[in-house]
Amino acid sequence: MVFHPANARASEKKASFTVVIDAGHGGHDPGAIGRKGREKNINLNVALKVGKLIQTNCPDTRVVYTRSKDVFVPLHRRAEIANNAKADLFISIHTNSIASRSSNVSGTETYTLGLHRTQENLEVAKKENSVILIEDDYTQQYAGFNPNSSESYIIFEFLQDKNMAQSIRFAQMVQKQFRKERRPDKGVHQAGFLVLRETSMPSVLIELGYITNAEEERFLLSEHGASTLARSIYNAFISYKKSGLKGNAGIQSVPQKPAKPENPVKEPIQTASRPVFKIQILTSSKVLPKGSKQLKGLSPVSYYREKGLIKYTYGEDTDYNKIRRLKREKVDRKFADAFIIAFRDGEKMDIRQAIKEFKQNSKQK
């Protein structure tokens, strides 16, 4: 099914900004089910209201919907729509739920792509990603990704999204607007959402509230509630545009070839152009003295310079699995936000490509 931006508002003035609004679930995928409502309908109602506000008040903005009616759209197709539209911002709208219908859990939260830091965030991602199981070719389309397996989510540890700063900033703006409307604020988080993985622009996934909370469900299903939530997202959108964060504007981009790593302790491994994996543990505005308490006893360490910052790493090996074990056994308990990066010939490279090469090399042994 082809989705045309005919649902975008025609304007005599050529659009200088494109936003894609994604109403989660749809068609034979109802999403979360409450006592009276279904997530797919709540999502679509709010998404259309957000789009209408933008179309009415922002003549320089083109609005594209991944769906504008009750139809099913695969997750990968939603990202394709955004990429094909060359969107400047992707907003995916969802409604949360929890297993116990007697739960009083409530509140809004906004996610950006990344590795979950809590079990709760992982469960939200699992719930939203499970929609792929009703797609006919999901094993091929998502390269064997299993939304119910915690191990599958490790891939999100390596997605160093160039749009992360903008995504987080917009997410913060959304939550700020929800707070102004006195909606319970559950904050900004990161988790591994497939719908955000393939988008090439700043992207967020918004959970409007809990359909399993009777009081919040009534609010979500009401005209007042839907309009309030839509207005909050619209106001965040206006703030985002005014802040000049379109695309990469206002954000220093990552250099294509960062400076070579500096190592005050030991020489980097020299290899036949094979990727070298390291664990990034800390970022500092200046070089730390040897034995600094900020390094929490890890030694030896290395550092490299990027975007005016000093970034410290621990461990290095061409064996990706060894670095994974090292991170789990010695780093995670000290640096919860540490992640694995890769270098080739002293220059930082795409971690996904590095892992791919490692797997290919391992098969050839």
Phi, psi at 339, each rounded to 5°? -150, 165
Same structural domain, 215 and 335: no
List all residues 6 or more positions away from 214 whose beta carbon is below 8 Å from its beta carbon: 35
Strand partners, 108: 185
* Domain that includes residue 296, residue range: 276-364
Evaluate whether residue 237 is within a structural domain.
Answer: yes
Evaluate whether residue 269 is within a structural domain.
Answer: no
Evaluate whether residue 197 is within a structural domain.
Answer: yes
Residue 92 near residue 44 (C-beta atoms within 8 A): no
Same structural domain, 14 and 163: yes
Strand partners, 212: none
Q: Which residue has the higher pLDDT, 207 or 250?
A: 207
Confidence of residue 233 (pLDDT cuts 50, 70, 90): very high
Average confidence (pLDDT) over 298-315 = 88
Whole-angstrom Cα distance, residue 293 to residue 59? Answer: 54
Quote the strand ranges of the chain, DSSP E.
17-23, 61-65, 89-96, 108-113, 185-191, 203-210, 276-284, 301-306, 309-317, 339-344, 347-349
The CATH code of the domain that includes 73 is 3.40.630.40
Phi, psi at 316, each rounded to 5°? -160, 135
The pLDDT of residue 81: 93
Evaluate whether residue 69 is within a structural domain.
Answer: yes
pLDDT tops 50 at residue 251: no
Evaluate whether residue 322 is within a structural domain.
Answer: yes
Phi, psi at 364, each rounded to 5°? -80, -15
Phi, psi at 241, each rounded to 5°? -65, -45
Same structural domain, 340 and 219: no
Strand partners, 311: 283, 304
Evaluate whether residue 249 is within a structural domain.
Answer: no
Same structural domain, 61 and 160: yes
Evaluate whether residue 263 is within a structural domain.
Answer: no
> CA 351 → CA 152, 155, 159, 307, 346, distances in Å?
16, 10, 8, 18, 14
The pLDDT of residue 79: 86
Q: What is the dihedral of CA 113, 119, 122, 127, to 10 degrees?
A: -140
Same structural domain, 238 and 296: no
Average confidence (pLDDT) over 266-291 = 76
Residue 67 near residue 2 (C-beta atoms within 8 A): no
Same structural domain, 203 and 283: no
Whole-angstrom Cα distance, residue 313 to residue 298? Answer: 10
List all residues 6 or more positions away from 148 whose beta carbon is below 8 Å from its beta carbon: 126, 130
Query: Number of structural domains, the chain?
Result: 2
CB atoms near residue 12 (< 10 Å): 5
Average confidence (pLDDT) over 253-268 = 41
Evaluate whether residue 335 is within a structural domain.
Answer: yes
The overall pTM is greater than 0.85 = no
In the listed set 242, 261, 293, which residue is the last one of a domain according to the structure? 242
Q: Is the peptide bond before 300 cis (omega within 30 degrees of 0)?
A: yes
Least confident of 98-102, 204-208, 229-233: 98-102
Same structural domain, 34 and 150: yes
Same structural domain, 281 and 139: no
The encoded tokens of residue 213 equal: 């909370």
Per residue in 8-43, pLDDT (tens digit) is 443 334 679 999 999 999 999 999 999 999 999 999
Burial profile 269-301: b = 16 or more Cβ within 10 angstroms, e = fewer = eeeeebbbbbbbbbeeeeebeeeeeebeebeeb
Confidence of residue 152 (pLDDT cuts 50, 70, 90): very low
Same structural domain, 55 and 111: yes
pLDDT tops 70 at residue 134: no
pLDDT tops 70 at residue 318: yes
The pLDDT of residue 158: 45
AA identity, residue 129? N
List all residues 6 or more positions away from 22 whose beta carbon is below 8 Å from its beta carbon: 47, 65, 66, 67, 78, 82, 90, 91, 92, 93, 195
- Pairing verdict, β 276-284 and 339-344: antiparallel
State the residue for tokens 């919860």: 336
The encoded tokens of residue 13 equal: 């003035």
Same structural domain, 87 and 158: yes
In the listed set 242, 265, 294, which residue is the last one of a domain according to the structure? 242
Whole-angstrom Cα distance, residue 313 to residue 280? Answer: 4
Same structural domain, 311 and 194: no
In the listed set 242, 257, 286, which residue is the last one of a domain according to the structure? 242
Same structural domain, 200 and 107: yes
